[in-house]
Amino acid sequence: MLNKGDKVSVLDEAINGTVVSVKNNEVLIETEDGFMMTFFVNELIKIQDSSNLMNSIKRVDLDSVSKQKEEPKPRSFVKEKKDKREIGVPEFDLHIEKLIPNKRGMSNYDILTLQTETAKRHIEFAIKNRIPKIVFIHGVGEGILKAELDFLLGRYDGIDFQDANYQKYGLGATEVYFRQNR
């Protein structure tokens, strides 16, 4: 349990700070840079005080967490050149786990409907805001979501779509281009 004044580190980010308050499972911390940020208890780890004799025992735990915080090295030996058009292309992951916290009680039809409605919202937003290109990540699976996405995209005028960059996404993504009149 974390208490006010404890030194903590954020698991998924390179942020350290001091606990200001704890309410339920949310913790307000003041970062070393002076910013106030809120995290869930399971996103934080308590950093032991250096004067504590148990520090050497806890250091093993802290080292393993630090290794988890490091970003994995890319496995490819091919250096990707960034195309100017590729910078800032919005990617939308349509996997159900990314859309809702819990899919319990949902039928396959409900899941597919939520995924296609989400894709439709992003398409409408891109058209309205004149975004030239977006990428939908749908995964490989049995191809049902991809087929539904292809059907949805085919109903719009002024939209071209194709499989996304194989090196970056494999077979599990679709690039959507919006032809817009200037």
Residue-wise pLDDT for 29-59, tens only, equals 998 888 888 998 888 888 875 554 454 445 5
Flag whether pLDDT at 68 surpasses 80: no
Structure tokens at 146: 């991809």
Q: pLDDT at residue 74 above 80?
A: no
| Averaged pLDDT for residues 153-175 | 91
Q: Quote the pLDDT of residue 53.
A: 46
Q: Which residues of 64-98 are buried (b: 16+ CB within 10 A; e: fewer)?
A: eeeeeeeeeeeeeeeeeeeeeeeeeeeebbbebee
* Backbone angle region of 85, left / alpha / beta, with phi > 0 → left and psi within -120 to 50 → alpha: alpha
Provide, rounded to the nearest whole percent, the portion of the chain with pLDDT above 90: 40
Record the tokens describing residue 96, joined without a space. Answer: 């159900």
